[in-house]
Structure 1
Amino acid sequence: MPRRSFLPLAVLTLLAGCGTGTAASPSAAPSPTQNNAHAIQAIKADCMKTKGFRYVPWARPTLAASDEDEKRTSGDYAAEKAYRSKNGFNVASLLAYRPDQEASKADKQPVDPNYAIRRDLSPAQQEVYETTSDTCEAQAIKQVTGKVVKSKDDWTIQANVMISRRWKRDLDGDPELAELASEMADCMTAKGYRLSGTTPTAVAFWGETTFRKEMHELARKEDKSIPAFDPEQQMAYLPYLTPAEARRLLDREIKAALDDLECGKRFYPVFRPKSDEVARQVDAEFGLR
């Protein structure tokens, strides 16, 4: 069975430009996180070389956010409605639109050269390559950021947990957000939805968490070794769905996401800028782009 894909916390994808923007100008000064990413890659390449593997230092180019992404980050209603009408909470869309996304990436996006290097190895060598890659990446991350991680996946999980905790710490105690969240929760309850709580973070992420968990549980039915879903880590495994199955799940998700947006008209323009700033701070701390 092929190695399963993780569904990382969406905000990190959003901050990296969602893959929808254009490449940043080469003359632009690199950010501290870009410098960290390149430093990690250089150290990893040296480590891989000492282990007998070729590895090309490669950090995905930072993409400039599109005008629509900027509007969404500010909580713009029209931009968010257009996005949710197609992608819902951006969970099932990753499967429903996967063929289109893969074709787009192949045509437009730079490709990590190490995929080809790994692909040319024998199955046994690929296993060793992956283990060595994780070990070398962990060493590089610790050297550059001081973070102790086991692998790239663990790196992302730790960042997710830190983001979740700081959101709760910094946003759930915000009086304005608390009032707006309570108003939104009442609206969603009236529409028949069951939220896990009425705090700003519970209200903001109930939808994404709900569908992320559903996706994860489908994967667990296929593979009993997959651990239970952890709401704090927010790392969901992706199941193997047919295009029709993925589409049905996405249709349900889109309806919920649009209801959520209608109820959150006053909440999201206040919540989004504050939550994204917290995520950016953690992003920098962990050396993530």
Structure 2
Amino acid sequence: MMIRPHSAYGVSAAALAALLVLAGCSSGSDDKKSADPAASVGSASGGGSGPAAAEQAGADGRLAIPAGADDETKKQYMVTNAVAECMKKAGFAYVPFVLTPTSANRDDNDRDYASARKIREKYGFGAFAPDVYPNDPQAPGSKTAVAEDPNTAAFQALPQDRKDAWNAAMMGSTDPAKMKQAMADGGGCLGAAQTKVYGDKGKSKADAEAASEAARRNRLNLNGDPELSRLAQGFASCLRGKGYPVETTAVTEIRNAERFVWMGKAAQLNQNRPQPADVDQPARPQSGPTLDPATARTMLTQEIQAALADLDCGRDFRAAYYPKLDKAPGAEGAG
């Protein structure tokens, strides 16, 4: 039941999907042996080791906002704390939870050349690393790279009537097909928390449209920057000279161009692999099987070579690009 907003008035697609999938799976057998999460969830908070472990709530049941956190991160903490308070009033013990990625999982892990090289020498871009190192918490996408939401087990342990009550309290509906809209309309603890932190839908929509327009302008400005355009051309030429046919030289796309190639290869191979009959959700890596070891290691070896070539070819580009990108919010994500 992870809550991780990434834009105004919305949870991340992965987080919302997890909520809806969990709710959809709750229509199974009625396990009357289970207790209310208020009796069981307390021991689920905190716990794990490593940089992606779930944080421990304080005595007041709230997560402390980290010092120096940016505005969006602060809002993530505010939302999950508001949800916990709301769920408590509804009769459920909800452990506030915010995902903290490992350095290997950060999108900007190529800013520092030395640390990026260390990561890429073992994990490449992180496309096939989950299949080779499924239990390595430093491997991007591995089973242990992301902290388990401490509320999931408590929810699954509930009898069906309490699951329905939880869904109604959390999402404003017991119908999975209606939960997303109910939340967007401010329903349930999640919708109420989003409204409290991000404002009403009208304001949020206007803010989102303004941010989208600003991102579009930032993207145009970066792509038209003469110095960055020259360096992007050199970046692409270097990769092509090493046998990697980069299809774009756009300033705001070249940094991740080769990474996306390998993510696509991994997605294709994992999509084509057989799924066991008892797997309801093919989401990787928590539900499905990994690739066979020989294939995974062969692909990872090739991926590492590409990732190191990408890092070396783009070294000058990234050095000039990041300082300008930091002053152009949303440029890489603009359409």
TM over 0.5: yes
Report how far residue 100 of structure 1 moved: 2.1
Report how far residue 250 of structure 1 moved: 1.9
Query: Aligned match of 2:289 in 222, 229, 240?
Result: 240
CA spacing shift, 1:35–1:79, aligned 2, 3 Å = closer
After superposition, the CA RMSD in angstroms is 4.9
Query: Aligned match of 2:267 in 216, 227, 232?
Result: 216
Query: Aligned match of 1:85 in 121, 129, 132?
Result: 121
TM-score (ref. length: structure 1): 0.61
TM-score (ref. length: structure 2): 0.54
- What stretches of structure 1 of length at least 5 have no aligned partner? 8-17, 149-160, 225-236, 284-289
One-letter amino acid of the counterpart of residue 80, structure 1: A
In structure 2, how many angstroms separate the alpha carbons of the residues matched to 1:163 and 1:96?
A: 40
Report how far residue 110 of structure 1 moved: 7.4
Residue correspondence of structure 1 range 122-141 to structure 2 within 5 A:
122=159, 132=170, 135=183, 136-141=189-194
Report how far residue 268 of structure 1 moved: 1.7
CA spacing shift, 1:194–1:108, aligned 2, 3 Å = closer
In the alignment, is the contact (CA less than 8 A) between 2:222 and 2:252 conserved in 1?
A: yes
In structure 2, how many angstroms separate the alpha carbons of the residues matched to 1:200 and 1:174?
A: 8
Q: Which residue of 1 aligns with 2:239?
A: 188
Q: Is residue 2:313 matched to residue 1:263?
A: yes
Q: Is residue 2:90 matched to residue 1:58?
A: no
Query: Aligned match of 1:118 in 122, 141, 155?
Result: 155
Report how far residue 193 of structure 1 moved: 1.5
CA spacing shift, 1:130–1:147, aligned 2, 3 Å = same
One-letter amino acid of the counterpart of residue 116, structure 2: E
CA spacing shift, 1:59–1:193, aligned 2, 3 Å = closer
Query: Aligned match of 1:143 in 182, 185, 196?
Result: 196
CA spacing shift, 1:86–1:126, aligned 2, 3 Å = farther
SS in 1 for 2:304: helix
Q: How many residue pairs get matched?
A: 238
Larger RCO, structure (CA 8 Å, separation 6 or more): 1
CA spacing shift, 1:265–1:34, aligned 2, 3 Å = closer
Q: Which has the higher helix share?
A: 1
In structure 2, how many angstroms separate the alpha carbons of the residues matched to 1:60 and 1:41?
A: 11
In structure 2, how many angstroms separate the alpha carbons of the residues matched to 1:253 and 1:268?
A: 20
One-letter amino acid of the counterpart of residue 94, structure 2: Y
Identity, % of aligned positions: 27
